[in-house]
A and B are shown apart, each in its own frame.
Chain A
Amino acid sequence: MINLLTPEFFFTVIRVTTPILFAAMAAIICSKSGVINIALESIMLTAALTGVLASGFSQNIFIGMVGGILGGMFIAGALAYFSLYLKADIILVGIALNLMAVGGTVFVMFVFTGDRGSTNSIRSLQFPDVNIPLLQDIPVVGTALSGHNILTYLAILSVIGVWFFLSKTTYGLRLRSVGENPDAATSVGIDVRKVKLVALLISGFLGAFGGMYMSMAYLSVFSTNMVAGRGFISLAAASMGQANPFGTLLAASFFGLMESVSYQLQAIGIPAQIVGMVPYVSVIIGLVLYAQYQQSLQKKKTLSKQLKEDPNEA
């Protein structure tokens, strides 16, 4: 039977939202600086693999984490180098990196493990789960909110972190000015290219955690193409959240919810192939509904503005 209103279900929603949330925060930073980081998919996938390899061979979770971060930032750096410094089209470079990462990760995996499907043969470490004292003892709420992986809590902190960075720090102010009016930024001596590079590297950092969550928390192995479009879903989430961290948190949770629903549907015997479409179809429906909501909001806004200006005409 399908049952959506259990604490266990909410636990699942939070679990599957985590990687999307990390990547969506990465997307926000980029979008605010005026670059479209379509390579989030490959950033996550690469970090998922390098994290597993680094932790598997070192048997040290910290080294594993550094490995994952470097993997993600390497892809982000490559995107920055080709698009910002060699002036290639950022969308095309992003697509190329995404395609390359799918094959490239399998190749690297084969070189290190001799396996083409997953990294089962090496024992990767996992990030620990955290039980939150007091909270875990509260019935229902405790079941849903406590006991998550440490990266889940980190993802939630990253929402606050990104908000704080963008709206409270001077660098955040400069980053936003670069995204909104690069000429204005240049005219007061801000190095636009450097700011965009930094934004891309930050997105590589955040996206890497999204990827590592997939292979070192959600699962303990890397498997082929395991990110499965979550990088793109995050871009949609950031767009729906209007690049506002808290709005994006809501949008990411919506996609997490739909993914969780799809697991439930699978459990009641609906063919996996159809169920597998649910998260992606929900992205399209979500974006359409959102666009319509935006339009009606715009209409109301202009109307109320006119009424304000012209009380006699109302």
Chain B
Amino acid sequence: MPDIITMKQMYKVYPNGIVANDYVDFSVKEGEIHALVGENGAGKTTLMKILFGIEQATTGELYHNGQLVSFQNPQEAIKAGIGMVHQHFMQVGSMTVAENVVLGSEPKKYRFLLDRKKAIDDTAEIAEKYKFKIDPAMRLDECSVGTRQKIEILKALFHGAKVIILDEPTAVLTPQETEELFRELKGLKERGHTIIFISHKLNEVKEISDRVTVMRSAKQTGTYDTESISKEEISNLMVGREGLWELTKGKATPNESIITVNNLSVMDEQRRYLLDHISFSMRKGEILGVVGVEGNGQRELVDVLTGLNKASGGSIMFKGEDISKQSIHHIREMGLSHIPEDRMTMGVATEASITDNLLSIYFDKESFNNGVLLDQSSIDAWAKDRVKEYAIKTKSPNAQVRSLSGGNIQKVVVAREFSNNPDVVIADQPTRGIDVGAAQFIHNKLIELRDQGASILLVSADLSEVLDVSDSLFVMYEGKIVAYFDDVTNVSAMELGRFMLGIEAQDEEQIKRGIYA
């Protein structure tokens, strides 16, 4: 098969001086599924944005079907038969599925009127052709995330895409939806479409792709037949260091409990229990995992523990004080740190500098103040040390947090939250959507804190993360704790799955084992 896309010596430097693509060569054969992998910030998305006309390369050549081209905007790329499925869906919630699909090239009647019936028929026809199960007449905001992604792919197909770029499509999908997506992608391939699949989940890359191109810090580090390369090898090419899969973790030596949660409840406005009388202990020197299908009370638990929300009943004893009705400031002063689930809205102020973000919970410390003024030089020195210690990739601590990659933004959050040697850490999805290198760094930091005697609550939707990192864990279902395991080494993901789905539950005595003196 000939190359449908060839990118030669692509070089892209952003106005802020960051080189996102450093003379990258990339080519895709017609009719293949080509995975593009690399850590966050490695330049995958930039390369694809150049291909799709969202960004222009500083230098370099782009060939489409052997022709030298340059797309000035996405419309030109769409016309050439290239489609892109973004991580954030480009959709209009109040419209129907069909209207979203045809938007921009709507079927018309009487010249000006929208032909709704034809829009629905066209959408149904194209969905039928590619065996996508969707209802074209449904309102878009009533569709699930998985369906919305299909709609995005259908949109690309409707606009005539032969090459479809998918930017981390599985990040938002459940395992079942991912399976379905892969089936559909294979179907597209059979019909002659070419797929570029951006990912950093190596299992998926192995499963779906024919070839894989690896990128590391703006450079291309090789293109391989997927069959001829192992996950470990890909991973080494991505991060450029060996032994990534090793998590150095000694056995936990839990001490007395530091937080005791007793009959804690949270109700919504309709007086329904979102958190239903739960009790457990967090012990010093232990990482306690919390698993469950999203929306089973984990968020509410984190919110009351950190003071973001107030409990409707029960108590949280922390160092002998009930913090369930205390202010966030007071709880933090007592030595509790919080890595929030959504780093972009809760974790950082994206417009502010790295220094300011690091400082945001320490600005009133004596060492940073000179009378009424901030002591800028000591702050700068301190921030510089944090950037170094946490290996935050940036040109300067004064750079806006917005300019960093996801993994580095999370490192800013972690650096801030860990810098005061907290006694308790509430880590809510601490590595969601960030690259392997940064995730491993954060895991090691958590374990380091544990070994220093901190108590850590690790809430994660990633079962393998909880099983790897935590020492003990409990499972939440419909606001209750349905299972407690004092040692994760004996627990399998399948077993947890049954508890998470409410098929099984431990009896009260077993759950009570999670309450320590």
Chain A residues engaging chain B, CB cutoff 8 angstroms: 168-174, 176-177, 180-181, 183-190, 299, 302-303, 306, 313
Contact sample, A vs B, 5 pairs, CB 8 Å cutoff = A171-B112, A173-B114, A185-B92, A187-B90, A189-B104
Contact B74 A299 (CB under 8 A): no
Count of A-B contacts with CB under 8 A? Answer: 70
Q: Contact mask B75-113 → A, CB, 8 Å, 1/0? A: 100100000001011111111000110011110100011
Q: Cβ of B86: which chain A residues have Cβ within 8 Å of it?
A: 187
Contact B106 A176 (CB under 8 A): no
Which 6 residue pairs spanning A and B have beta carbons closest together? A188-B104, A184-B90, A187-B90, A189-B75, A170-B106, A177-B92
Q: How far is the CB of A260 from chain B (nearest CB, A)?
A: 35
Contact B269 A177 (CB under 8 A): no
Q: If the complex has contacts A168-B114, A177-B103, A313-B272, are A187 and B74 also in contact, measured as CB distance less than 8 A?
A: yes
Task: Tell which of A172, A174, A184 touches B91, judged by Cβ atoms closer than 8 Å.
Answer: A184
Task: Flag whether B155 is at the interface (Cβ < 8 A).
Answer: yes
Task: Flag whether B159 is at the interface (Cβ < 8 A).
Answer: yes
Q: How far is the CB of B119 from chain A (nearest CB, A)?
A: 9
Q: How far is the CA of A299 from the CA of B269 in the complex (A)?
A: 8
Q: Cβ of A174: which chain B residues have Cβ within 8 Å of it?
A: 103-104, 106
Q: How far is the CB of A169 from chain B (nearest CB, A)?
A: 5
Q: Cβ of B269: which chain A residues have Cβ within 8 Å of it?
A: 299, 302
Task: Flag whether B270 is at the interface (Cβ < 8 A).
Answer: yes
Q: Cβ of A173: which chain B residues have Cβ within 8 Å of it?
A: 95, 99, 103, 106, 114
Contact A188 B95 (CB under 8 A): no
The count of residues in chain B whose C-beta lies closer than 8 Å to any C-beta of chain A is 27
Q: Contact mask B218-250 → A, CB, 8 Å, 1/0? A: 000000000000000000000000000000000
Closest to B75 in A: A189
List CB contacts (< 8 Å) of B129-178 with chain A.
Answer: 155, 159
Q: Cβ of A190: which chain B residues have Cβ within 8 Å of it?
A: 103-104
Q: Cβ of A181: which chain B residues have Cβ within 8 Å of it?
A: 90-93
Task: Tell which of A172, A186, A303 touches B270, judged by Cβ atoms closer than 8 Å.
Answer: A303
Task: Tell which of B89, B94, B155 touches A176, judged by Cβ atoms closer than 8 Å.
Answer: B94
Q: How far is the CA of A185 from the CA of B92 in the complex (A)?
A: 9
Q: How far is the CA of A185 from the CA of B103 in the complex (A)?
A: 8
Q: If the complex has contacts A170-B108, A170-B113, A313-B272, are A188 and B159 also in contact, measured as CB distance less than 8 A?
A: yes
Q: How far is the CB of A262 from chain B (nearest CB, A)?
A: 37
Q: How far is the CA of A107 from the CA of B213 in the complex (A)?
A: 70
Contact B112 A177 (CB under 8 A): no
Contact B94 A184 (CB under 8 A): no
Q: Cβ of B104: which chain A residues have Cβ within 8 Å of it?
A: 174, 185, 188-190
Q: Cβ of B112: which chain A residues have Cβ within 8 Å of it?
A: 169-171
